[in-house]
Amino acid sequence: MTTEPAAAEQQLLPGVRYRTETRQRLVPHTVNGKTLMIEEDYEAMVPVPPRDWDQTVTTAVTIAAAVMVAVAVVWSVASIGDLLARAVIAPIAYLAAGAFAIAWVSCMALEWLARYDADRATGPRKAGTWALVLDMAVVATHGYVEEALYVGLAGAAVSAVAKKMWTVVMRHQSRPLPARTRAWLIQEEAEISARLALASRTRHLARIEGQAAVYAPAQALEAAPQDTARDTPGQLSPTVLSAVRAIRTTVPGLSHDDVLDHLDTLGLDYDPDAVLVVLDNQDNGQDKRDSRSEGPLPSIAPAGQSVTDSVRTALSSGVRDKDKVVSYVHQIHGTGVPRSTIVRTFNRELAS
């Protein structure tokens, strides 16, 4: 463990300014024979670096340039706004006048951001120059209209001086990069931009896939023969059967409950027990016939009573054991009803 000497123990160099700084250190402390490291405050004399006059001057010049730009913007807005106010109301005139100054100021900001890439900085520099010339021309026009051309020229010169001053400051603070370093930076930015673009397009494709999960089954229904009759218990109409097949084809891997949710979204009237049987048969590889030649499914329950009704009857009688409910449903509807269908219906009804 290293410790620093206290302020009184430090050797101070002559001619160097110091300031007192409170620091912390770990020291051993023993109580009842047990030693622990505790934190202790102490004062240390820290050398004060000399003032960086170069940085101070640079900061002062940058502030002066920013103030000049602000003055030029205010003058331009006031002059151009007064000129435009001859044709429109004052608020709109001064709002439009701000566009002239904002244009070349924004270009200067873009030029600053591209200071490490001379090629990218060329575009904002040229655009800013043209925007400044247009701003100066309108300011001079205002002076001519007011029969004080010398005032207009002086106001235009304010913008020119501010722009030139800011350009000088940017060139002073910019640091040109070596050719290889600049090429490396451009390639690195291109790779990062490519990843950002790929992430954006991936999110876009995910949205398209979500839309396809809803609209593709609907389009399949429009092409299928329409059957407005309601499904009888244990049977599916061709319309609902086509919708089930379209949903499973469009979005593979959906759970049975998700398929039922899609059917609800499409606004179809169906028997959920019969749909679950079809889905179980598809999962077991038993549904391999062409849906165009397949007729309604054979009845799987007595007329007027579905598997859901039988499960509800068992639950209303106080039966909560899953195996007893499965046995009860098999006694009524036969062992042809898959256990998974009964269990799924049992869980759904129990949770509702």
Read off the pLDDT band of 73 (50, 70, 90).
very high
At 189-204, the pLDDT tens digits run 888 888 888 888 888 8
Residue 218 lies in a domain: no
In this prediction, residue 103 has a pLDDT band, given cuts at 50, 70 and 90, of very high
Same domain, 85 and 158: yes
Statement to judge: residues 230 and 138 lie in one domain: no
User: What is residue 284's predicted lDDT score, i.e. its pLDDT?
Assistant: 66
186 lies in some domain: no
Is 199 inside a domain boundary?
A: no
Same domain, 117 and 12: no
Residues 268 and 314 in one domain: no
User: Who wins on pLDDT, 247 or 163?
Assistant: 163
Assess whether 17 and 97 both reside in one domain: no
Taking residues 21-33, report their average pLDDT: 91
Q: What range does the domain containing 314 cover?
A: 303-352
Q: Is the pLDDT of residue 126 over 80?
A: yes
Q: Which of 13-22, 134-143, 207-216, 295-304 has the highest mean pLDDT?
A: 134-143
- 220 in a structural domain: no
What is the predicted pLDDT for the residue at 16? 78
* 152 in the same domain as 101: yes
163 and 66 share one domain = yes
**Burial status of residue 272 (CB atoms within 10 A of its CB: 0-12, 13-18, 19 or more):** buried
**pLDDT for position 218:** 53
pLDDT tens column, 285-309: 544 444 433 443 333 444 456 778 7
In a domain, 36, yes or no: yes
pLDDT of residue 39: 92
Is the per-residue pLDDT at 121 higher than 60?
Answer: yes
Is 251 in the same domain as 317? no
Sign of the CA dihedral 227, 229, 231, 235?
Answer: negative
25 versus 342: which is more confidently predicted?
A: 25
Is 127 inside a domain boundary? yes
Domain count, the chain: 4
Return the top range by mean pLDDT from 31-35, 178-182, 328-332: 31-35
Q: Is the pLDDT of residue 230 over 60?
A: no
Q: What is the C-alpha to C-alpha distance for residues 301 and 277, in angstroms, rounded to an integer?
A: 12
User: What's the rounded Cα separation, in Å, for the pair 137 and 156?
Assistant: 7
- Regarding whether 278 and 328 lie in a shared domain, the answer is no
Does 156 reside within a domain?
yes
pLDDT of residue 314: 79
**pLDDT at residue 10 tops 70:** no
Task: List pLDDT tens digits, range 249-264.
Answer: 666 667 777 777 777 7
Is residue 1 assigned to a domain?
A: no
Residue 134 sits in the same domain as residue 95: yes
Contacts of 238 (CB under 8 A, 6+ apart): 224, 225, 227, 291, 296
What is the mean predicted confidence (pLDDT) over 86-105?
90
Per-residue confidence (pLDDT) for residue 294, from 0 to 100: 41
pLDDT of residue 235: 59
* Percent of the residues in the chain that have a pLDDT greater than 70, as a whole number: 78
My answer on whether 67 and 162 are in the same domain is yes
Task: Encode pLDDT of 335-346 as tens digits.
Answer: 777 787 888 888
Instruction: Please report which confidence band the pLDDT of residue 67 belongs to, taking 50, 70 and 90 as the band edges.
Output: very high
Same structural domain, 309 and 295: no
Q: Which tops the pLDDT comparison, 59 or 262?
A: 59
pLDDT of residue 170: 83
